[in-house]
Amino acid sequence: MSVPPLCLTVERGEGTTWLRLAGVLDHDTSEAFGVRATACVDADPRPAELRLDCAKLRLCDSMGLAALLMIHRRTAARGITLVLDDPPPSMERMLRITGTRQLFAPGTAESRGPDEVSRTTD
């Protein structure tokens, strides 16, 4: 069984651009994803928010995370809020482990889950 490539769909609303991801965000697809997301940010002169709908994303590896971080830097520099909607559990775990979850959900507190990398006890 082959892994589906990344499919991107763009929707624009007043002040918000949605980028819907389906398939795999990995070494093979992250560069094209970064180009497309950057183009979406640059196309709208004053978007307040870029939302990445990850509900149909099957996999995100470290290269996918690197692309997300690059997009975060670009949006933050322009004052645009970047939000990840419905990331799959494996992606959510990777974001928590790397300490990057808060970058993609501004204004929300991170919860500490049972699969933390390290714990301290007194």
Q: What is the pLDDT of residues 23-53, one digit of tens each?
A: 999 999 999 999 999 988 888 667 789 999 9
Per-residue pLDDT at 119: 42
Tokens matching residue 55: 């509900």
Q: What is the model's pTM? A: 0.81
Give yes or no for residue 111 having a pLDDT over 90: no
Q: How far is CA 63 from each of CA 10, 25, 56, rounded to the nearest angstrom?
A: 21, 8, 18
Checking DSSP bridges between strand 49-60 and strand 81-85, what pairing results, if any? parallel
Least-confidence region, from 67-71, 91-95, 111-115: 111-115
Q: Measured between alpha carbons, how far apart are the two ends of the chain, in Å?
A: 48
Mean pLDDT score, 81-108: 89
C-alpha radius of gyration, the chain, whole number: 15
Could you tell me which residues come within 8 angstroms of residue 60 by beta carbon, excluding any fewer than 6 positions away? Answer: 24, 25, 26, 54, 68, 87, 88, 90, 91, 94
